[in-house]
Structure 1
Amino acid sequence: MGTALVMALVAATATGEALFQRCYACHSLNPAEQGLQGPNLAGDVGRRAAAVKGFDYSPAMRAAGDRGLAWTEAELDRFLTDAQAVVPQTSMFTPPLRDPADRAALIAYLKGAR
């Protein structure tokens, strides 16, 4: 792996980590941390929506998961752009991330959280 690529990955990780701070009030990436307002997001990329055991999801999010919504990179990108368009009546209200590079950095950071 070239130095430029390593530096780009480090920068994207730092950006993703900084962007995650907007999520941190309700979500955690520490698998042991439970009981927050939102579900734990560790391992979320690739997982079906509303699949964290023990979390009380909104009816809208449960229905989306039952319909097969999975948090692929593409779906996360859409959700971070406009959560209400992806899951109408979701209880998650957050300002959209308008910048595609910011969304990509946040999704990459989430992918690293296992």
Structure 2
Amino acid sequence: MQKTASGVVTLPSWMKSVKKLYNTRSGGQYQPDDVALAFALSLRFHDSADELRAPAYRLVDKVCLEHQPNMRRLAREPDDAEVFDAALRIINRLCDLMEYGPGTTFVRNGDQHGTDSAAA
């Protein structure tokens, strides 16, 4: 960050304006990166399929209309492996889209692909 003579701090370009990479027909209260963050935090702290279904259920009416059926389906999915797979796909797809840590993937705690410290 650079300081100008007036004492105003100039923000880096990545903090100034949000470049909308994800176009939807209908806006939602939460953007896809908010949903991915909720799933990532739930995975990191709880590592439980039931704890992934809960935020999916709470976010159904807050995401854009195009994602609401998938979020309902995720909240009702009885198979734990499918829930984990869907949450990891959401997180990794958004990370690739926003170019957060290119080439790294988010893994579950204790997953055979990495340990907690190795997870992105």
TM-score (normalizing by structure 2): 0.33
Structure ranking higher on relative contact order (CA contacts 8 Å, 6+ apart): 1
Greater gyration radius = 2
